[in-house]
Amino acid sequence: KQEVTQIPAALSVPEGENLVLNCSFTDSAIYNLQWFRQDPGKGLTSLLLIQSSQREQTSGRLNASLDKSSGRSTLYIAASQPGDSATYLCAVGAAGNKLTFGGGTRVLVKP
Amino acid sequence: GAVVSQHPSRVICKSGTSVKIECRSLDFQATTMFWYRQFPKQSLMLMATSNEGSKATYEQGVEKDKFLINHASLTLSTLTVTSAHPEDSSFYICSARNWVGTGNTSPLHFGNGTRLTVT
**Over residues B28-33, mean pLDDT:** 86
**Over residues B74-93, mean pLDDT:** 95
- In chain A, residues with a C-beta closer than 8 Å to the C-beta of B104 are 31-32, 51, 93, 97
pLDDT at B29: 85
Query: What residues are paired with B16 via a beta bridge?
Result: none
pLDDT at B2: 65
- In chain B, residues with a C-beta closer than 8 Å to the C-beta of A33 are none
- In chain B, residues with a C-beta closer than 8 Å to the C-beta of A32 are 104
For residue B98, pLDDT over 90 is answered with no
* Residue B99 binned pLDDT confidence (cut-offs 50, 70, 90): low
Element (H, E) at B27: none
**Which of B97, B104, B110 lies nearest to residue A44, judging by beta carbons?**
B110
Query: What residues are paired with A48 via a beta bridge?
Result: A35
Query: B17-54 burial string, b = 16+ CB within 10 Å, else e?
Result: eebebbbbbeebebebbbbbbbeeeebbebbbbbebee
Instruction: Categorise residue B53: left if φ over 0, alpha if ψ from -120 to 50, beta otherwise.
Output: left
pLDDT at B104: 53
Percent helix, strand, coil in chain A, to 5, is 5, 60, 35
For residue B68, pLDDT over 70 is answered with yes
- Looking at chain B, which residue has its C-alpha nearest residue A42? B112
Contact A41 B95 (CB under 8 A): no
pLDDT at B51: 86
* Residue B19 binned pLDDT confidence (cut-offs 50, 70, 90): very high
**Which of A43, A51, A103 lies nearest to residue B110, judging by beta carbons?**
A43
Distances (CA, A) of B54 to B49, B51, B72, B81: 11, 6, 9, 19
